[in-house]
Amino acid sequence: MQQLTPNAVQSIWYEEQPGQHGTYVLQAVNIKLVAGQTARYRIMMSDGTHFIQGMLATQLNDILTSGVLQRNGLFRLTEYVLNTVSTRRVVVILNIEVLTPNNGQVERFGNPRNIEEVANSNDGHGNELQHGRAQRPPPTYQGGLNGQGSSSINGDYQQLQQQRNTGSNYGGQYAGGNSYQSQPTTAGTYGGGSGGGGRGSGGGGSNGGGGIPDGLGPIFPISHLSPYQNKWTIRARAVNKSDIKSWSNQRGEGTLFSVTFVDESGEIRATGFSEAVKTFYEVIQEGQVYYVSRAMIRQAKKQWGVQNEYEMTLDPSSVVERCDDSAAANVPGTKFNFVPLDRLMEFEKDQTIDVVGVVHSYSEATTIIGKQSQKPIEKRELTLVDDSNRQVRLTLWGRQATEFRAEDNPVLAVKGARLGDYGGRSLSASAGCSLVFNPDVPEATNLRAWYDHLQPKPDFNGYNNAGPGATAGGATARKDNFKMISQIKDESLGQSDTPDFFNVRATIIFIRNENIGYPACPTPNCNKKVTEEAPGQWRCEKCNKTYPEPHYRYILSVSVSDHTGQAWLTAFNEIGVQLLGMEAGDVLRLKDNGSPGEFDAVFSDGTFKMFDFRIKARSESYNDEVKTRLQIMSMTPVNWKSASQQLLGTIESYEKSG
């Protein structure tokens, strides 16, 4: 049986030099799930004499959820950071090696005491610990990898990156060497290689040619950043820098910009507001490498398409310094997770995705008035194709539209394109989206060869009139995602923590004509409910403005039925207009003007029609009662040709299986 490392907890507490092997063998005497939106685990780590609390990095959660490490299990702590959170010391566990995998029957060693209580007590133990502390000088960082010795460093993660390049994107390996995440495609390595430098803790010299600016914390891989670190520095390349945007809400108004920082381990989105825009917007140049420190790390909003559960907020006290030494060449560029163009129906409207394709055609730039800003903005449309023989329209905006230059049908990689459902499926290069022409990635090389040898160029399949679950040309996508109404209840759809999306083919049997909508703010993209303060005065609290009249928007209750049952669906404004063929305000005026027959006819005309509905199901609590709400995301008339082909295929499969 592996022995615990004597005095390991004491050494961790006082940030002392690790032992001969650079690691500690400890026992997980208790494991607890911490309440919160993100699953986090706290491990009570013991050396048999003392214990200390450790917080497991989320990328290592699989070690616990899979049962590899269980209570009283032994493990080797190979990489960690000691942080102070609200005057308490917490060990952030970055890498461990489980020594008793899948074995929860190990007995607890000794009767360990809380190192924090012992260190602060006056019973003599604290003095004993202080005496032990004085015998070895504390370094500024503690850690080692895979049982190898580790010098006292402020960052040089070269060994960590070598391990990561051999299969573990996060360095989170336990016995057996399992990896937790595959490496995405990276464009523009600017010299390639892994590793990098970091100045020694003594402040003199450098390892690998990189030096940390004075006064900053140790260099961390981006994948290891979390709100639990309070002193860190990243060395990363700036990509996807946005234009300066204006914002306005009840709390005031200001400006913002965003940029994505990328290193060998991952990426993180950073946003600067108001004063930070003045401080950093001109400093940060896309494609350059920077040391970044003293920014706030918080839970990320997932709509931006950056592969990180956290995001960064820059403020005027943050540090962003250019890295001009040789270490900059080792930092990669934009990372992509490409989605083939024939798989766009598998993703929901407004998701951000990465795509790569050949620019088959493009329009000239035009100027339109933006819906939200009410200001002129440039727009250009491209047609991208790939080797799935699929084409999709990509819209460029602003500077990207005017600066676009396409010669000889370049290959274009798009990072963070927003998915729309106009014409079935379309893409938009929204704020923070990055365009890379002819990127140095295998997918681009393959597409270049494919397109150049494609003679003559065929008519590519588009997404026009492709409804939910269907693609152009009548082919059916996501066939297994069609549900019968009875399955909504039988499979408890919408009753988990996250919404469920599925398709239903059903007939509208009734549309409720009471409470069909609400008075909304007429400002584009606001849509908040307004209140009538006086005749001709409708006030929006969000915009802090008063309008002479509102813009009415639908909230319809629609009853649909198939051969298995009936369900009530909710249709919001865009679906309501499609369903009834009129704006909500026009329908309400029919009622107010004393035309009940015409008013009722609008609703009856929308019934007894069959559609393919795309449904979002989620649970909502009201008056202590939990109900499942079914919202129509989109609806299209049934393509009877493809539906018949699908049914014939199902019958054929059934006959063969019988």
Specify if 189 maps to a domain: no
The string of DSSP letters for 344-378 reads GGGS-TT-EEEEEEEEEEEPPPEEEE-TTT-SEEE
- Judge if 268 and 407 occupy the same domain: no
Side chain identity at residue 333, one-letter code: G
**SS3 category, 598:** helix
CB atoms within 10 A of CB 366: 11
Same-domain status, 20 and 100: yes
174 secondary structure, DSSP code: -
Residue 155 lies in a domain: no
Our CA dihedral for 133, 137, 143, 145, rounded to 10 degrees, sits at -110
Residue 309 makes CB contacts below 8 A (sequence gap 6+) with 38, 58, 299, 300
Residue 307's Cβ-side half-sphere holds a number of Cα atoms within 13 Å equal to 23
DSSP 470: B
Let me know if residue 83 belongs to a domain. Answer: yes
Question: Which residues contact residue 437 at a Cβ distance below 8 angstroms, ignoring those fewer than 6 apart?
Answer: 410, 411, 412, 413
Residue ending a domain, among 395, 428, 462, is 462
Which residue's structure tokens are 């950073």?
270
Using alpha carbons, select from 69, 70, 72, 115 the residue that is nearest to residue 95.
69
Distance from C-alpha of 540 to C-alpha of 319, rounded to nearest angstrom = 39
Which positions ≥6 away from 14 have C-beta within 8 Å? 129, 132, 133, 138
Q: Which residues pair with 114 in a beta bridge?
A: 51
626 forms beta bridges with 621
What DSSP element (H or E) covers 420? strand 411-420
Together in a domain, 588 and 498: yes
Determine the Cα–Cα distance for residues 238 and 290; give it in Å rounded to an integer.
7
Radius of gyration of the chain (CA): 29
Residue 11: φ, ψ to 5°: -65, -40
421 sits in the region (left: phi over 0; alpha: psi -120 to 50; else beta) called alpha
The DSSP bridge pattern shows strands 252-262 and 245-249 to be antiparallel
- Give CA 217 to chain center in angstroms: 27
Dist CA 253 CA 256 (whole Å): 10
- 489 and 637 in a single domain? The answer is yes
Q: Looking at residue 159, what is its pLDDT?
A: 37
Do 386 and 314 belong to one domain?
A: no
Write down the pTM of the prediction. 0.45
Same-domain status, 291 and 258: yes
The answer to whether the bond into 456 is cis (omega within 30° of 0) is yes
Structural domain includes residue 365: yes
Domain count, the chain: 4
Same domain, 310 and 448: no
In a domain, 87, yes or no: yes
Q: What pLDDT, on the 0 to 100 scale, is given for residue 220?
A: 87
If asked whether residues 412 and 502 sit together in one domain, one would say: no
Alpha carbon distance 355, 384 (integer Å): 9
In this prediction, residue 50 carries a pLDDT of: 92
> Is the domain of 496 the same as that of 599?
yes
Which of 117, 142, 163 is the last residue in one of the domains?
A: 117
Provide the residue range defining the domain that includes 385. Answer: 351-462
Of 84, 117, 150, the last residue of a domain is 117
Using the 8-state DSSP alphabet, how is residue 65 labeled?
Answer: H
Place of tokens 């609806």: 635
Mean pLDDT, 10 residues at a time, the chain of 658 residues: 83 65 82 76 92 88 86 89 72 88 72 84 48 37 32 33 35 33 47 32 34 73 83 90 82 88 91 94 93 90 73 94 86 88 86 92 86 79 93 91 85 91 84 84 93 85 55 39 89 80 94 94 88 91 90 95 95 94 93 85 94 89 74 91 84 75
Q: Are residues 385 and 453 in the same domain?
A: yes
What one-character DSSP code corresponds to residue 154? S
Burial of 525 (0-12, 13-18, 19+ CB in 10 A): exposed
DSSP designation for 498: S
Between the CA atoms of 52, 53, 57 and 60, what dihedral angle is there, to the nearest 10 degrees?
Answer: 80
Same domain for 414 and 296, yes or no, is no
User: Side chain identity at 195, as an amino acid letter?
Assistant: G
Residue 169 one-letter amino acid = N
Looking at the domain assignment, is residue 128 inside a domain? no
Residue 278, domain CATH: 2.40.50.140
User: What are the DSSP E strand ranges found in 183-251?
Assistant: 185-186, 233-239, 245-249
CB atoms within 10 A of CB 494: 23
Say yes or no: 400 and 254 in one domain. no
Name residues whose C-beta falls within 8 Å of residue 221's C-beta, 6 or more positions apart in sequence.
157, 160, 161, 164, 171, 234, 263, 264, 265, 266
User: Residue 407 domain-assigned?
Assistant: yes
Decide: 617 and 488 in contact? Cβ < 8 Å: yes
Angle at 442 between CA 439 and CA 443, to 5 degrees: 80
pLDDT of residue 238: 93
Alpha-carbon gap, residue 342 to 392, rounded angstroms: 9
Flag whether 425 is in a domain: yes
And the tokens for 539? Answer: 């006030």
